[in-house]
Structure 1
Amino acid sequence: MEVACRIILLLLLTTSFVIAQSASREVVQELHVGVLLDLGSMVGKIARTSISMAMEDFYAVHQNYSTKIVLHIRDSMSDDVQAASEAIDLLEKYNVEAIIGPQKSSQAIFVSKIGNISHVPVISFTATDPSLSSRGLPYFVRATINDSAQVNCIASIVKTYGWREVVPIYEDTDYGRGIIPYLVDVLHEVDAQIPYRSVIPLSATSEEITLELYKLMTMQTTVFVVHMSVTLASLFFIKAKKVGMMNKGHAWIMTDGVTNLKDSLNPSVLGSLNGALGVEFYVPKSRELDDFTTRWNMRFQIENPANPPLKLSIFGLWGYDTIWTVAQAAEKVGQANNTFRKPGAKRNSTSLETLETSSNGPKLLQAILQKKFRGLSGNFDLSNRQLQISTFQIVNVVGNGWREIGLWTAQNGISRQSNKTRLATTHLGSVRDLNPVIWPGESIEVPRGFHIPVSGKKLQVGVCTSGFPEFVKVEKDHITGATKATGLSVDVFEEAVKRLPYAVPYEYVLFSTKDDGSTKDYNDFVYQVYLEIYDIVIGDITIRYNRTFYADFTLPYTESGIAMIVPVRDSRNKNTWIFLKPLAPGMWFGSVVFFIYTGVVVLILEFLGNNENVRGPIPRQLGIMIFFSIFEEKELVQRFLSRIVLIVWLVFLMVLTSSYTASLTSMLTVQQLQPTVTDVHELLKSGEYVGYHRGSYVKGLLEEIGFDRSKIKPYDSPDDFHNALSRGSNNGGIAALVHEVPYIKLFLANHCKGYTMVGPIYKAAGFGYALAKGSPLLGDISKAILNVTGGDTMIQIEKKWIGDQNNCQNLGPVSGSSRLTFANFRGLFILTGVASTSSILIALIIYFYKKKHRSKNITLDILNRPEDTGISDESSEHQEGNQGERVEENAQLAGREEDGLEEKTSELASDKK
């Protein structure tokens, strides 16, 4: 019994020893990690629950890991100094190897500097300030996206809806100010201006926010980008709804700082956001995410029973994935050789100077940067020391919820589907690429982006009297003091305003000039919009390059260009030799040449045909040749080819004769007016005098062309133009007046007879209206001007102020000539030439063929004659017999030829009778 007890005791001791040895081998190493959160904030509460669940989920999956991280959570209380103090405490007490979650960007800067000293990685999944850079903070890792990543998405929205001005509203913190430089740059890329920046202090009261909102209401811009923390944004939007800025016509875009927490907002706050657009990080859907969300909601309610329920946000997912990243890096690096080295003791040293330095920190940092995996938030890659830019989602707050409007990626721009491919361009997109939006005020109409404030002043329209009152004439009512403007330019402006899709109240304001329409005065006139004295200036204002530096111009409402007014004269001199004018010299020469050529061809054809009429002395043949070219006489022309040539020639003569008659009749009866000058360089070469409207920039253009100043004369009115042109350059006047096309049309409408327009000789943009740089009215007024000038309205306005231009035949240069040229009859010349040439070629071929055939027959006759040879009598007799037969055959053939000749002779004799 005693032995059995000893054996049992020995077995128990052995088993306990083995278990102890096994336990000693499976001891888990701990790696301490600090966590800094603002536990009183919405983000802090969400992140705390996510981090706790991440620890449980990770080690439930990786139970065999030998290194386990131990979290030490601290509350920074939304204070930068408190966050830094907690970080130092964690380093001194627990020798933490990493610090997770300095929640604010300002806190992250403090803590990251401490991490640089202690060589401890600092990983934040909420600090989005672009100024946080790994260059100055090598141990800082951003497990979230940079705020500047979303500005391209915002710019794409602005461009898609065609807004020209945007007002950013941001809190006065590092987080709020950090995004502004990037936002300004991308908005400039899409031609959107920032007329004003609204800065809201973090400690702003309700009254201060209300005053700022009233200030925004007095401005024209109605598109706002809000970038602030969720606490301040909630108060701001409640006040914005109260003052009426969440009504129809306004557009609001929220950055991801607010949009990411939209599901956790109070219903009253969410209701005040109705109609706003928001930008947020896009999280792809997955079964794991759905399961985690369900578990997270239950866990949060258990841990926070007294708090209002919050919803899982992207910050919670990033916190979850960050824990998994640090835990895997800790397992890879381990704690085997980790030591903390103390710096040398110094007198009066601070806590920062006495912090220990981790030998494991650099290795842990590299392991964190190398780890890539697909987490709950999507692809989690910190290799660039911050989360890589992915896809943004654009949402529209509707009622107490929201709906997806579209997606944005750097490769595809805006689209409805994430897999939609197109040419790579950041800001590409159109309204068709987005789902319909319910805008503030439950409107489906896209806000214009600006409005004329009800409480503000009317649109100030600058006007001044032109040197040509038909364009602008301004009068002052001495009783009421109101300014009244009339003229073509005024009517076009008023018609354009009527066609705007909204009401624009305006009033005319007089700008005094020298009343000569001088360029200097008009430059000053346009400059008034740059000085913000006028909102727009109208009149006969030429769109010039130097003026575009301080003003924007609408599309032109008149014809463009600079041309000349020159006298006209009858270009025909009706003298004795006018009958030669209908045909050009080339036509006369060609007709004579073909006249002779046709006669020669007919003469040769008849000569080859053995026509007795063409034989004889040369003078007689020349007369017959000319006779052939004019008449078709059967007695003289015997060959069929000759008749073909003469028929074609007769057709040519008929067409030429009728054309000559018509042209000569026109010369004798119709007045042919032509400009005295057709090229400005002719005036320059001949040293003629030219005129211009006094004060116009045309003088400078003439000097650039090369005219001497002494040859350039200024004039003040259309009557002065008429007097100078009528006198001419040699009698103290001018040979031409150089002016802008709209003024020339006005001059010719009143002085139609005797003048015409030549040109344009110089390009110009025409007349337009000038507005301040970046004015939101520019696009709409330009479209309205196109509507006016493209219809019958513009014709009626021009008739009213310029007159019916169709009644003037000289409005525009008379060009061209009624002379008949060789080119006009090229086809007929080719036809008669081909007929004549082909006929003579055919005749020559026939002639040489017959000649060759007759020569062959003669040769055969010679060869067949009897010769004196030593042949036997019998053979001779036989040959003589054959020869006799041939002689008889030749005689018969000759008889037939004689009979035929007699028949032809008798026929010819009868014809002659």
Structure 2
Amino acid sequence: MHAVVDLLKNVQVHAILGPQISDAAPFVVKLGEQSQVPTVSFFQTSPTLSLTKSPLFIRAAQDESLQVKPITVILQAYQWYEAVVVYEDTNYGNGIVSYLVDAFQEIDIRLAHMSPISPSAQDFEISRELKRLKTMQTRVFIVHMTNNSMGSRLFELADKAGMMSEGYVWIVTTGLSNSMNAMDTENVDSMEGVLGIRSYVPKSKDVENFTMRLKRNLLSMKPNISVSEISIFCLWAYDTIWALAMAVEKIELTNSSFLNTRTNTSTDFERLGTSEIGPRLLSEILNTKFNGLSGEFHLVNGQLKTTSPFEIINVIAGKGVRVVGFWTPDKRLTKKLVSTSSSNGLKKIIWPGDSTTIPKGWAIPNLKVGIPVKEGFKQFVKMHKDRHTNETTFSGFCIDVFRAVLNALDFKISYEFVPFMNDTGGMNGTYDDLLQQIEEKRWKTGLEVSETYLSSFGWPDANTPVWEEIGYAGAMCAVEVYLPPTPLGVGLMCTFRHRLLVSESGVGALNFSSSDGFLKLYVTEELVAKGSSRFVLVIWLCAAYILMQSYTASLSSVLTVDKLKPKIVSVKELQSKGYYVGYQSDSFVKDLLVQQLKFNETKLRHYGKVQEYHEALSKGSENGGVAAIFDEVPYIRVFLANKKYSSNYMMAGPTYRTDGFGFAFPRDSPLVSSFSRAILRVMEQGNIMDNIEKQYFGHKIISLDLTPPISTDNSSLDAYSFGGLFIIVGTLSLLALLISESYIWQKPAVALAQIFSKTFPSSQPSNGNKSEIQIAQMDHVGGDSSEVEGSGNIQRISAKENEAENVDAEPS
């Protein structure tokens, strides 16, 4: 600081380059503003320091906040949804925290802990903080520091604490990555497996020539110095000095001085003068634009504008740093800058502990699984304690599903079932009490890792732990039903016989029978001649068949299977009549009834066993029982599946959707996402769930497709039920009639008589004599008809019994 004051006071400089210490930047900038001298920094500084807040400050380096994006992309790529940030407790370190918090919230990554470390912290203080971090379940650490000495000490102590072993993830920001080439080999080796975000330096001939000249000059000054890779800071420094020189040339600086220098003040700060050309020099620097060694030098709002990608590096012991990929501005990870379909992602990474297995990012816990103690419905959860061995075993639908999900996980978890039981062997509170203990981790065993709760529940509030749904639950009420015979409309089952007179000498007989379920149409003695008549006849016979089958089924239903009709049809009826209603003991349904459905709590009664359900419903509300029981659908289905009660009770009323059966975890548990994927795998393999359900229930009891309750409407068959059928039959019959009428009026009567006589010979007995029927041909003249006599054409039709003869026209 004193050097800056000396330069401004005695040398009267018109620009300040630096400082190299990021935490000193705010103080230096204030001194420059007091003297109207621009401060140009090519070192990394806090993102909170900007031209808007400090008009005479220029950052000729990459904005630190830009690296937040590649960090979050890496976390997403490896499915790490929880991280700890370790940062130096300085203005520089604190400046990036707010950006990380905002970025994590956008992609649903939890910031598990923030660990600030003072630059003056002793080794024992850092070790104490590392020991506390080791006890946490999170294994992903993001380190943000610029002090190489402090960063080196942190990783050396982490290695001693066993935190550089397999399963851990360390990601360092540009503060350490950009200057890692200046660290000792031993310090770098202690960081094996670390990932780093580093500014990208484009390769060019100019960069190669500059690197060779710099190394040659350094070796000439210090022959024993070891010069390795040139850092990005050297390139930024070169470009910044070049830009400053160009700006000075533009303003043609010849003779300038500081104005208003006061010498009679008590402090050096008050004796600082004001630069005459400082504001002009600032303006020229901001407008300077050229292609430098680090890329394009272009300042926007006092900040170096860059669209360069970031390098992703991997520290390997004995080999230093290896580039494993890049992050491009389009938010992608790629192995090469020339992106192809096969270059997505990163190269193979060596993780801490010399491992190539991608870490989970969190410690796999030894689960303590809380189990509710149920009085009834033990098909779901059942606890059995052997009197001889004193061993407790657990079984049931929920237990088997939990084990199936564990088998579907990508990793192995050891677990222990712990019954939520009081001293008397009963349930130690309600489901909500168990959930609360999971959140507060108040277990007798003093558990330090995450727990889970296994059973059915729902209707959570914002303070309850998270859960994963494994099936649809919902809540409905079971009510007692009575069985009245319901009228199903008018119906008749019979056999139709219809005789159709075709001619004076004979009849045609039609027989419609449905005894074997098929239409049978046959003709006795005579046939129906017209095609349209046959068509109409078939249509009506089909309609008659449909009617007869429908009414037969309806009549059978009336006589044999009475339709269920609940005594209670709505929640309003239960409330208005003051009926008592029931629910399963310790269930969340009580809160649903009171808080959501607004039932009076004094009208609620709880039961725990199937037999108690039956007794309460059979007694009724007036006799110490209930008028209805509300419960989750799977439990109601189990109750109704019991043959003793299935004929007396039914599900009725609306269904209130809840969160269903599931596993509860403490809030923000990393197990949630893993269990979610495992549950989906189990659900997709339908045979697993089907086998479990058949084992305990004999049929499907948990289903995402909820069967709607039986309707209480009195739906009877009537004429309106067959409206469509009647319309179709009537339309087709009318169409056939129109076609037939058109045919009759277009043909002469004689032709019609010929067709009839050929098709239907007389069946009257002739006693050996020929019987004749004469039909005069009708002529249509002017719409009137007259009989043609004498010379008119007269046709004779002769018929013999069982024999048809040809008809010859004879003149009268």
Normalising TM by the smaller chain, what interval?
Answer: 0.7 to 0.9
How far apart are residue 354 of structure 1 and its match?
1.2
**Partner of residue 18, structure 1:** none
Larger CA deviation: 276-285 vs 313-322 = 276-285
Distance of aligned partners of 1:310 and 1:759 in 2 relative to their CA distance in 1, 3 Å threshold: farther
Which residue is equivalent to 1:10? none
In 1, Cα distance between equivalents of 2:125 and 2:392: 40
Deviation at 1:648, TM superposition (A): 3.6
Greater share of strand: 2
1:544 maps to amino acid: W
- 1:102 match: 19
Cα distance in 1 between the residues matched to 2:538 and 2:23:
105
* Structure holding more helix per residue: 1
Question: 1:224 Cα deviation (Å)?
Answer: 0.9
Paired position in structure 2 for 1:77: none
1:71 corresponds to which residue?
none
Instruction: Pick from 292, 314, 336 the counterpart of residue 396 of structure 1.
Output: 314
Distance 1:481 1:172 in 2: 55
Aligned to 1:782: 676
Preserved contact between residue 497 and residue 504 of structure 1 (Cα < 8 Å): yes
- Give 1:567-716 correspondences, 5 Å limit: 567=480, 572=485, 584-585=489-490, 639=530, 641-654=532-545, 656-657=547-548, 671=561, 674=564, 676=566, 679-680=569-570, 683-684=573-574, 687=577, 690-694=581-585, 696-702=587-593, 704-705=596-597, 713-716=605-608
Partner amino acid for 1:408? W
Cα deviations across residues 124-152 of structure 1 (Å, max 9, x unaligned)? Answer: 11142123233443211111123222122
Over 3 Å counting, the alpha-carbon distance change for 1:860 and 1:646 in structure 2 is closer
Q: Give yes or no for contact 2:431–2:586 (8 Å, CA) kept in 1.
A: no
C-alpha deviations, 1:556-613, integer Å up to 9, x for none? 234321122234565657xxxx9xx5xx44x789x99xx99x99xx99xx8xxxx669
Take 1:711 and 1:894, find their aligned partners in 2: how far apart are those partners?
104
Partner residue of 2:617 out of 706, 709, 725: 725
Match for residue 64 of structure 1?
none
Q: Return the alpha-carbon distance in structure 2 between the equivalents of residues 637 and 743 of structure 1.
A: 64
Q: Distance in 1 between matches of 2:783 and 2:717?
A: 60
Alpha-carbon distance, 1:389 to partner = 4.5
SS at match of 2:793: helix
Cα displacement string for residues 98-132 of structure 1 (whole angstroms, at most 9, x for unaligned residues): 11121112222222111111111111111421232
Q: 1:443 aligns with which of 355, 360, 369?
A: 355
Secondary structure at 2:362's aligned position in 1? coil
1:557 match: secondary structure: strand
2:98 alignment partner, one of 169, 177, 181: 181
- Residue 254 (structure 1) shift: 0.9
The CA distance in 2 between the partners of 1:689 and 1:894, in whole Å, is 100
Asked if residue 368 in structure 1 is aligned to residue 259 in structure 2, the reply is no
How far apart are the structure 2 equivalents of 1:201 and 1:709? 57
| 2:200 maps to 1:309 | no
Pair 1:645–1:132, CA change in 2 (3 A) = closer
Indicate whether 1:381 and 2:281 are aligned: no
SS at match of 2:735: helix
Change (3 A) 1:507 1:855: closer
Q: 2:793 is matched with which residue: 897, 904, 907? A: 897
Are the aligned partners of 1:771 and 1:778 in contact in 2 as well (CA < 8 Å)?
A: yes
Partners of 2:230 and 2:628 lie apart in 1 by: 81
- Of 445, 448, 451, the residue aligned with 1:536 is 451
- SS in structure 1 of the partner of residue 143 of structure 2: strand
| CA distance in structure 2 between the partners assigned to 1:155 and 1:238 by the alignment | 26
How far, CA to CA, are the matches of 1:341 and 1:710 in structure 2?
Answer: 88
Contact persistence 1:517–1:696 (CA under 8 A) = no
Q: Percent identity?
A: 37
Cα distance, 1:284 vs structure 2: 2.2
* Distance across 2 between alignment mates of 1:243 and 1:756: 64
The Cα shift of 1:713 comes to 4.5
1:632 and 1:646 in contact (8 A); partners too:
no
Relative distance call for 1:839 and 1:517 in structure 2 (3 A) is farther
Distance in 1 separating the partners of 2:325 and 2:393:
50
- Judged with a 3 Å threshold, the aligned counterparts in structure 2 of structure 1 residues 823 and 321 are, in CA distance, closer, same or farther, namely farther
8 A contact 1:170–1:199 mirrored in 2: yes
Aligned counterpart, 1:773: 667
Query: RMSD in angstroms over aligned alpha carbons?
Result: 4.7
C-alpha separation between the residues in 2 aligned to 1:407 and 1:387? 20
1:566 equivalent in structure 2: 479
The separation in 2 between residues aligned to 1:118 and 1:386, in whole angstroms, is 21
How does the TM-score come out when normalised to structure 1? 0.71
| 1:545 maps to amino acid | P
Amino acid paired to 2:26: I
Q: Displacement, 1:361? A: 0.3
Residue pair 2:164, 2:352 contacting (<8 A) in 1 also: yes
Q: Look up the match of 1:196.
A: 113
Work out whether residues 469 and 487 of structure 1, in 8 Å CA contact, stay in contact via their aligned partners in 2.
no
Whole-angstrom CA distance in 1 between matches of 2:553 and 2:377:
47
**1:360 Cα offset (Å):** 0.3
> What is the distance in 2 between the residues matched to 1:104 and 1:479?
73
C-alpha contact 1:463 1:537 (8 A) present in aligned 2: no
The 1:831–1:336 alpha-carbon spacing in structure 2 relative to 1, beyond 3 Å, is same
Structure 2 stretches lacking a partner, 5+ long = 444-449, 513-520, 751-776, 806-812
Going from structure 1 to structure 2, the CA distance change for 1:87 and 1:490 (only over 3 Å counts) comes to same
Q: Which structure's CA Rg is the greater one? A: 1
Correspondence for 1:552: 466
Question: Does the 8 Å contact 2:385/2:392 carry over to 1?
Answer: yes
CA contact (8 A) 1:284 1:378 kept: yes
In structure 2, how many angstroms separate the alpha carbons of the residues matched to 1:196 and 1:641?
89
Aligned to 1:527: 436
CA distance in 2: counterparts of 1:509 and 1:640, whole angstroms: 83
Counterpart secondary structure, 2:113 = coil
Is 1:138 paired with 2:59?
no
Deviations 1:699-736 (A, max 9, x none): 45446446666765544433221012223457664443
SS of the residue 1:97 aligns to: coil
Distance 1:635 1:849 in 2: 26
Map 1:817-896 onto structure 2 (within 5 A). Answer: 829=726, 832-849=729-746, 858=781, 895=791
* Residue 761 (structure 1) aligned with residue 655 (structure 2): yes
Answer yes or no: is the 8 Å Cα contact 2:143–2:171 preserved in 1. yes
Opposite residue 768 of structure 1, the aligned amino acid is G
**How far has the Cα of 1:779 moved from its partner?**
1.7
- Contact preservation (8 Å) 1:517, 1:695: no
Contact 1:544 1:765 (C-alpha < 8 Å) held by counterparts: yes
Letter in 1 for 2:132: K
Q: Distance in 2 between matches of 1:181 and 1:409?
A: 23
Secondary structure, counterpart of 1:137 in structure 2: coil
Count of residue correspondences: 749
CA distance in 2, matches of 1:824, 1:519: 57
Equivalent residue runs for 1:107-186 within 5 Å = 107-186=24-103
Cα 1:171/1:519, change in 2 over 3 Å: same
Measured in 1, the distance between the counterparts of 2:192 and 2:216 equals 29
Q: CA deviation at 1:845?
A: 2.0
Q: Distance in 1 between matches of 2:10 and 2:784?
A: 145
Aligned to 2:304, what secondary structure does the other structure show? coil
2:327 equivalent to 1:408: yes
Following the alignment from structure 1 to structure 2, what is the Cα–Cα distance between the partners of residues 784 and 652?
A: 56
